[in-house]
Amino acid sequence: MRPTWDIFCSVVDNYGDIGVTWRLARQLVAEHDAAVRLWVDDLLAFARLCPAADVRVAQQSLQGVDVRQWPAPWLPVEAADVVIEAFACELPTAYVAAMARRARPSLWLNLEYLSAEDWVGGCHGLPSMQSTGLQKFFFFPGFRPETGGLLREAGLLERRRNFQQDPAARQAFLQRLGVAPLANARLISLFAYENCGLASWLDVLAAGCQPTHMLVPEGRVLGDVQAWLGVRSLTVGSLEVRGALTVQVLPFVTQDDYDRLLWSCDFNAVRGEDSFVRAQWAGRPLLWHIYEQQENVHLEKLEAFLALYTQGLSPAAGATLTALWQAWNHGEGVGESWLALQQAWPELAEHAEAWSLEQASQTDLAEALVEFYLNWL
Ligand code: TRH
């Protein structure tokens, strides 16, 4: 019998919650022969990542995943063997009761947000007793072996490498998006939240000697791009040139195409959680716009990641990368830090590849979840 999995996703904002759970659901089906239901409370957000989705239906099968509109009020169903509440979303009370009623109660996992902080390893896999008598386990993704790892599909790095070694594949992909960069242009993708530091970065790119082609998928940062360009509107397909800088607005593409976009670029500005991880798998230098949290908790997470990521770098390269990431996340001095970083470019490029290989030598998140379940049985 195929093990059954229920993944519950409540979309808080943006695309990270659904991005992670949709990716995980697909991988469990494709690589672990699991029967997966993905319960999502916002099909519109889901449809952005998976345009084949029909937002009007309560149930549909997509890439082998049984995608369900999370109904409100809840309609009783049988509980699955493994239940994942993503990012501490609250499960329906009746569903929790159904988990407890089973002959062998469900394995209940809370999939947490990604963090490189030290304490994560110590908390990964810890149980917490619930009033129903069920135990809930905390499952932490992470960058170290004592965590649950990162989402990484089988063969991902090989696919990425083949693509990056095949200029015709890259060109065909970019052409499909309507992108035709100059031969010597540096290609940058920009996926970020609103950022008042953007203007100084665009200033130095426009004033630079090397052409830069910046690709901006539709999203929250467009307002800042538009303000810097001084244009009335920016829509998908807009292309503006200022000095050495070309800015082009792209549509929001599927997750697989977004991977190809990251693989195609020389440098990727990413945000949140899932695009941040995907940019690491791209093996190219990156810039992370971390999701802002109350009381600046996010800045500790940023530092924790930087401390880990810069370990393999020379002090000078580590310092320039840290300065750029700090500037970006504080919204000031980005242009200056970008210029300072240029000297370290070859080292950063090499390090990005080495980092992706090192991370890929660890157990991936889906595999770690399956192992956790098998050990728990
Ligand atoms: O959208 P995000 O800002 O999501 C955030 C974070 O996950 C944050 O931790 C969380 O607390 C908050 O949401 C609620 O960034 P993230 O995580 O990178 O998710 C974006 C998803 O969108 C990711 O799966 C990649 C995908 N994507 C596409 O599929 N196509 C695109 O064109 C782009 C730009 C992104």
* 193 CA closest ligand 1 atom index: 3
Q: Which residues are near ligand 1 (CB < 6 Å)?
A: 12-17, 19, 49, 113, 191, 217, 252-255, 258, 271-276, 291
pLDDT reported for residue 1? 84
Say which CATH topology domain 156-360 has.
Rossmann fold (3.40.50)
Alpha-carbon distance 56 to 15, whole Å?
19
pLDDT reported for residue 128? 95
Protein residue whose Cα sits closest to atom 15 of ligand 1: 272
Protein residue whose Cα sits closest to atom 12 of ligand 1: 16
Q: Decide: 139 and 372 in contact? Cβ < 8 Å.
A: yes
Give me the long-range contacts of 296-301 (CB less than 8 A, separation at least 24).
298/329, 299/329, 300/117, 301/115, 301/116, 301/117
When pLDDT is averaged across residues 308-337 and rounded to a whole number, the result is 98
Centre of ligand 1 from the C-alpha of residue 291, in Å: 10
* 273 CA closest ligand 1 atom index: 17
Token pair, residue 335, equals 């242009």
Alpha-carbon distance 199 to 82, whole Å?
47
- Using CA atoms of 250, 251, 252, 256 in order, give the dihedral in degrees to the nearest 10: -80
When pLDDT is averaged across residues 40-66 and rounded to a whole number, the result is 97
When pLDDT is averaged across residues 204-227 and rounded to a whole number, the result is 97
Per DSSP, the three-state class of 50 is coil
- Is it true that the peptide bond before 73 is cis, omega within 30 degrees of 0? yes
Band the pLDDT of 230: cuts 50, 70, 90.
very high
Amino acid at 228: W
pLDDT reported for residue 132? 87
Pocket perturbation via mutation, ligand 1, pick of 11, 12, 14, 179 by most ligand atoms within 8 A of CB: 14
Cite the beta strand spans of 231-337 per DSSP E: 239-242, 245-250, 267-271, 286-289
Protein residue whose Cα sits closest to atom 3 of ligand 1: 272
* 252 CA closest ligand 1 atom index: 32
Centre of ligand 1 from the C-alpha of residue 191, in Å: 9
The CA-based angle 16-11-257, given to 5 degrees, is: 40
Protein residue whose Cα sits closest to atom 30 of ligand 1: 253
Protein residue whose Cα sits closest to atom 14 of ligand 1: 13
Q: What is the mean pLDDT of the chain?
A: 97
Q: Indicate if 156-360 has the same CATH topology as 4-150+362-376.
A: yes
Protein residue whose Cα sits closest to atom 25 of ligand 1: 275
Instruction: Say whether 364 is catalytic.
Output: no
Centre of ligand 1 from the C-alpha of residue 317, in Å: 28
* Torsions phi, psi for 186 (to 5 deg): -85, 130
pLDDT reported for residue 291? 97
Instruction: Say whether 347 is catalytic.
Output: no
When pLDDT is averaged across residues 38-59 and rounded to a whole number, the result is 97
Centre of ligand 1 from the C-alpha of residue 20, in Å: 8
Q: Which of 6, 17, 112, 367 is flagged as catalytic?
A: 17
When pLDDT is averaged across residues 61-77 and rounded to a whole number, the result is 97
pLDDT digits (tens, 9 = 90+) for 254-313: 999 999 999 999 999 999 999 999 999 999 999 999 999 999 999 999 999 999 999 999
Task: Specify the CATH number of the domain 4-150+362-376.
Answer: 3.40.50
Protein residue whose Cα sits closest to atom 6 of ligand 1: 272
Q: Which of 273, 274, 364, 367 is flagged as catalytic?
A: 273
pLDDT digits (tens, 9 = 90+) for 154-181: 999 999 999 999 999 999 999 999 999 9
Band the pLDDT of 220: cuts 50, 70, 90.
very high
When pLDDT is averaged across residues 131-157 and rounded to a whole number, the result is 96
CB atoms within 10 A of CB 70: 18
* 191 CA closest ligand 1 atom index: 34
* 277 CA closest ligand 1 atom index: 18
**Extents of the domains making up the chain:** 4-150+362-376, 156-360
Angle (deg, nearest 10), helices 334-341 and 198-207: 50
Centre of ligand 1 from the C-alpha of residue 273, in Å: 7
